[in-house]
Amino acid sequence: MSQMDRRKALRLFAGLGAAGFLAGCGTGSAGEAAEANELVSDEPIKIGLIAPQTAGYKDIGDEIARGFNLYLEMNDQRLGGHQVQLLVADEGETVESGKAALDGLLKQGVLALTGVVNSTVMLGIRDTVEQARIPLIGSAASPSALQSVVYIWRTSYVNNEAGQALGRYVAENVGGKVGIIAPDYEAGRDAVEGFRTAFGTTQTRMAAPVWTEYVAEPTKTFFRAKIDQVRRTNPEAIYCFYSGQAAVEFLRQLRADGYTGQVYAPGFLTEGAVLRELKRNEAKGVYTALNYSPDLNNAANRAFATAYRSAYEATPSGYAVASYDAAQVIDKAVRLAGANPTPQEVNLAMGKIGLVASPRGDWQFNQTRTPQQKWYLRQVQNDGPVLANVLINELATLG
């Protein structure tokens, strides 16, 4: 499908369904609708998006950009009635590159920020964001150590929640030993801690975690020794945490090592481009927990998934949903902030937006500025000629 055809399709979706869809996202009164129309302005606002544009997490950065841009396409390139200039900065792989991206966006006078994939980067830029008093609506990274913030919100999750959602399920459904392997950095430690807490840290069926170095682009033998270490405990199942290219290489090397048992993980292990790169014998049967599945049956997801597939000829991911929702809550907050919003007014309005009608299901911000939301169990299965993360059941409501 050509880019022009995609744009026409997206505008058709917006024209046919935006009134009902957006009414479900907001409070929906006629008075508010009239007020919203009055707030439409030709004065553009600048939104800064921080995301990896190179190396191992580029695919995740692309998903985040797609989700945000899709919301803009479906809403006439406006947020809160204002035309939007979206400024994208390369997060890179380090705190230094993340800080440079943030500094560049702040110098351009952004009204709000979004994105950020790496949890170490999120912690590294925290103080700068707070001191600048510019709201950051993060759509990926969300370390549990990020506490007592005023200007940082997250539309994704807290990093330990996927493990929490899976821990009890695995404890009840796996009778033998469970091995654990993850990268030794903030997000990996959070994912393991959440899982162990929910599973029961005193359980003798749970092996001690095996830690790998945090590398965005591992070699084709990177995991071999650590996989052998995990397998020496003779696990019936393995719990792990990897994403992006690291997830691809981990699953390939795990299967090449001869492991055929069950694999459980936060959903990033098979999310987005990862699943498209893996062969059936490498990914089929893997169980993951995530706050989104493409086959969720709700009105918001039907509209979002249809538009996403039309625009990008791909299956939507949880990364894209979190970024789509970041655009949605910025839209609401800017509208609440009035005709000439300041960053501080937008930040204050973030706490007033209430329930969000999302493709993942309805959610709302809690006191820690993260979503209270449902988590789902998915399994990689055949979906015609391709593999897909198929919804199995609901695991928990967390947040």
| Res 162: pLDDT | 96
Q: Side chain identity at 124, as an amino acid letter?
A: G
- Strand 287-290 vs strand 262-266: parallel, antiparallel, or unpaired? parallel
Write the CB contacts of 360 (distance below 8 Å, at least 6 apart in sequence).
291, 292, 296, 301, 318, 321, 325, 373, 374
| Res 27: pLDDT | 39
Rounded-to-integer distance, Cα 212 and Cα 249, Å:
13
- Spatial contact of 176 and 205, defined as CB atoms under 8 Å apart: yes
**pTM (2 d.p.):** 0.87
Rounded-to-integer distance, Cα 249 and Cα 253, Å:
6
| Res 22: pLDDT | 36
| Res 56: pLDDT | 85
| Res 104: pLDDT | 98
32-62 confidence digits (pLDDT tens):
433 444 445 567 999 999 999 988 899 999 9
DSSP string, 222-259: TTHHHHHHHHTT--SEEEE---HHHHHHHHHHHHHTT-
Structure tokens at 219: 């070699």
- Spatial contact of 212 and 226, defined as CB atoms under 8 Å apart: yes
| Res 3: pLDDT | 43
| Res 38: pLDDT | 46
70-92 confidence digits (pLDDT tens):
999 999 999 999 999 999 999 99
| Res 384: pLDDT | 84
List the pLDDT tens digit at each of the 399 positions of the chain. 444 344 444 443 443 333 333 333 443 433 343 344 444 556 799 999 999 998 889 999 999 999 999 999 999 999 999 999 999 999 999 999 999 999 999 999 999 999 999 999 999 999 999 999 999 999 999 999 999 999 999 999 999 999 999 999 999 999 999 999 999 999 999 999 999 999 986 778 999 999 999 999 999 999 999 999 999 999 999 999 999 999 999 999 999 999 999 999 999 999 999 999 999 999 999 999 999 999 999 999 999 999 999 999 999 999 999 999 999 999 999 999 999 999 999 999 999 999 999 999 999 999 999 999 999 999 999 988 889 999 999 999 999
- Strand 287-290 vs strand 364-365: parallel, antiparallel, or unpaired? unpaired
Strands of 14-135, DSSP E: 41-51, 78-79, 82-90, 112-115
- Per-residue exposure over 207-232, b if at least 16 CB sit within 10 Å of its own CB, e if not: bebbbbebbbebeeebbeebbeebbe
First and final CA of the chain: distance in angstroms?
40
